[in-house]
Chain A
Amino acid sequence: MKKKLFGFLSFAVTVAVLVGMLKVLNWLPTAIDQSTIRKYPSIEAVGAKLGIREIYVPSYFPATLGWPPAEILAQSKPFEAVVMEFKRPEDGETALIISQSARPEFAPDMKIRFTEVTEKIPYALKGREALLEAGTCNDRSPCSRISWDEDGTRIRLAMQSPPLELIRIAESMLR
């Protein structure tokens, strides 16, 4: 019995050491290269640290969402990308995700997950060809998504709301 308990203890220590080693391995690349994806306290900090020239921010913002972004993630390697997450002040739920990236396949809006896309249409967004999608999210609430290319950058907005409010936000990001 004593041997068995010692075995469990020894195994638990091994697992703990392995977890520690994995954490160090995970931290190491960020120490070597500052440009991989990480959290930033502000949009200004992203521009200053990564040198991303244009960060697309809406000038129209509904009162139901909190400003500044609750979370900002950005990277300049392996490609430029910025993700801003906005939450509803009343319940702290993620309600809007704005992302821009140099690669079109980059889709960081998993927190606003569509369960059903009911409509998918091309939309003329201030002269740009955008793709507008409407549907429902996990809790059956209405969700919408819009994406378009702007000077080689794919911009993508996903929101827990009908498309009308989303389009207003998207239009306010363009001159």
Chain B
Amino acid sequence: MDISSFFNTYPGIHIVQAFLHSLTATVIADRSIHAWDIKSPLIRQRVRLIVIFVPIFSYPLYQLIDPGRSSISFRLGALLDSNRWLSLELWGKVPVSIFFIVLLVSTAALFLVQELIPILRHTAESKQSELEWDHPGEGSPVIGVLGDLPVEMPDIFIAEDANPVVYSTTGNNPAVFLTTGLIDSLEPDELRAAVAHEIAHIRRSRKPLLMFTYLLRVLQFFSPATLVEFRKVVEDEEKICDDSAVEITGKPGALAGALEKLRHGSADNIEGDNPAEMLRAIERMSHDMLIRNRIRRLTRGDAAQAEGSGWLKFAATLAAVLMINYFIV
């Protein structure tokens, strides 16, 4: 089977259309956020989720509505017919489809190296961890600090470790995990803000939406637009939890202070002798950029701005994405 005939099979057409549909959806979603000056991370995330959800389903959905959409006559009247580009040969020799395949493979490699492998490595490392996690004792200062948080408290676990670490797990037994290094390095208000942020994650993660979003993102491992937009969705998720933490504690400065202490201060340069080290340095640096962005936002007071539900903007964006993508084949 040659390349151009693969792009005429059902999986081939699905990949091509998911790729193109995610590109147009990204442009429309980003312009929508810009046009309405949407600042609320909740609304921004909702708009960006269109890019993750729509392209993977659009081709089978459109075909179900109109089987004639794959016909030649439809393609001739379409806004963009991918076949015209994919069957093109530059200087009569080099097929454009080769460049397209290189782009798909590069994106898949990027996904593997920057997302999947770090997740697997992190999972393996956390399984090997020898930290012993215990509930704080009756007279623990942590209980005193967190006791007055106006929310239902999940289980709290503490481990003896100098590294400042805080994270949460969700599911049937949600819990927040803190190291003594973190407790020692944060002021009481900052500790409260950090735990409130984790509680926000626990509250939101009860919804299976984010897990489903990640599954869809994994299925679109070949799409560069999905790669970029999913990262923005994750960034928005952090900001949503920041806003929730500020709502609980009423102190954005305390959360900004906690983030400042937790960020990787040494991640400003990409250095390393081997590719694996370089990769970790890039990971640290991008993580650090995200935290600095969140600190800036909390310091500016953006978290306090109310903006309405934004459903009309979401509906207009979704309608534009669905209508335009229908004519991209």
Among A10, A15, A22, A111: residue with most chain B CB under 10 A: A15
Interface residues of A in 66-113 (CB under 8 A from B): 71, 73, 77-78, 83, 103, 105, 108, 110-111, 113
Q: Are B35 and A18 in contact (CB under 8 A)?
A: no
B28 engages A39 (CB within 8 Å): no
Given contacts A25-B80, A83-B72, contact A7 B89 (CB under 8 A): no
Contacts A4-B36, A7-B35, A7-B37 known; A26 to B84 CB distance under 8 Å? yes
| Nearest CB in chain A to that of B75: its residue | A37
Report the stretch among B63-71, B130-138, B263-271, B289-297 that lies at the interface.
B63-71
Measured in the bound complex, the distance between the Cα atoms of B28 and A73 in whole Å is 33
B80 touches A11 (CB 8 A): no
Docked-complex contact B87 and A77, CB < 8 angstroms: yes
B274 at the interface (CB under 8 A from A): no
Cβ of A4: which chain B residues have Cβ within 8 Å of it?
Answer: 36
Cross-chain pair count, CB within 8 angstroms: 92
The reply to whether the CB of B172 lies closer than 8 angstroms to some CB of chain A is no
Q: How large is the interface on A (under 10, 10 to 19, 20 to 34, 35 or more residues)?
A: 20 to 34
Contacting pair B80 A22 (CB below 8 A): yes
Contact A33 B89 (CB under 8 A): yes
Closest to A3 in B: B37
Specify which chain B residues have a CB less than 8 angstroms from the CB of A37 in the assembled complex.
72, 75-76, 83-84
Q: Hey, which chain A residues are within 8 Å of B80, CB to CB?
A: 22-23, 25-26
- Measured CB to CB, the nearest residue on chain B to A103 is B5
B84 lies within 8 A of A108 (CB): no
Chain A residue nearest to B79 (CB atoms) is: A22
Report A102 CB to chain B, min CB distance, Å. Answer: 11
- Closest B-chain residue to A30, C-beta based? B84
Would you give the 0/1 interface string for A11-24, flagging 1 where the beta carbon is closer than 8 Å to chain B? 10011001100110
Contact A11 B35 (CB under 8 A): yes
Residue numbers in A under 8 Å from B32 (CB-CB): 11, 14
Q: Tell whether A161 is near chain B: CB-to-CB under 8 Å.
A: no
Interface contact A26-B313, CB-CB below 8 Å: no
Q: What's the minimum C-beta distance from A8 to chain B, rounded to whole angstroms?
A: 7
Cβ of A164: which chain B residues have Cβ within 8 Å of it? none
Q: Does B311 contact A (CB under 8 A)?
A: no
Interface presence of A48 (CB below 8 A)? no
Encode contact with B along A49-60: 1 for CB under 8 Å, 0 otherwise: 000000000000
Tell me whether A32 is interfacial, beta carbon within 8 Å.
Answer: yes
Residues 291-329 of B at the A interface (beta carbon under 8 Å): 313, 316-317, 320, 324, 328
- Give the distance in Å from the alpha carbon of A38 to the alpha carbon of B75 in the complex: 10
- Chain A residue numbers with a CB within 8 Å of B4 are 78
> Assuming the A-B contacts A32-B88, A36-B88, A111-B71, are A10 and B79 also in contact, with contact meaning beta carbons closer than 8 angstroms in the complex?
no
Choose one: A7, A14, A110; the contact of B71 (CB below 8 Å). A110
Chain B residue contacts of A18, Cβ below 8 A: 24, 27-28, 31, 324
Kindly list chain A residues whose C-beta atoms are within 8 Å of the C-beta of B87.
36, 77-78
Q: How far does the alpha carbon of A55 sit from the alpha carbon of B34 in the complex, in Å? A: 54
Q: How far is the CB of A114 from chain B (nearest CB, A)?
A: 11
In-complex Cβ contact of A22 among B36, B71, B328 (8 A) = B328
Nearest A-chain residue to B24, judged by Cβ: A18
Please determine whether B89 and A11 come into contact, CB atoms closer than 8 angstroms: no
Within 8 A of A (CB), among B221-245: none
A10 surroundings in chain B (CB, below 8 A): 34-36
**Does B128 sit within 8 A of A, measured CB to CB?**
no
Min CB gap B108→A, angstroms: 24
Q: Which residues of A contact B73 (CB under 8 A)?
A: 71, 73, 110-111
The reply on A29 being an interface residue by CB < 8 A is: yes
Within 8 Å by CB of B79, from A23, A71, A77, A110, lies A23
Closest to A36 in B: B84
- A sample of 5 cross-chain residue pairs with beta-carbon separation below 8 angstroms, ordered by A number, consists of A10-B36, A25-B80, A25-B85, A26-B79, A73-B76
Using a CB–CB cutoff of 8 Å, the interface residues on chain A facing chain B are 3-4, 7-8, 10-11, 14-15, 18-19, 22-23, 25-26, 29-30, 32-33, 36-39, 71, 73, 77-78, 83, 103, 105, 108, 110-111, 113
Please give 18 more A-B residue pairs, beta carbons under 8 A apart, in addition to A3-B37, A8-B35, A11-B32.
Answer: A8-B316, A10-B36, A11-B36, A11-B317, A14-B28, A14-B32, A15-B320, A23-B79, A26-B80, A33-B89, A37-B84, A39-B76, A78-B4, A110-B67, A110-B71, A110-B72, A110-B73, A111-B68
Interface residues of B (CB under 8 A from A): 4-5, 8, 24, 27-28, 31-32, 34-37, 67-68, 70-76, 78-81, 83-85, 87-89, 313, 316-317, 320, 324, 328
List of 4 A-B pairs having minimum Cβ-Cβ separation, nearest first: A110-B71, A7-B36, A10-B35, A78-B87
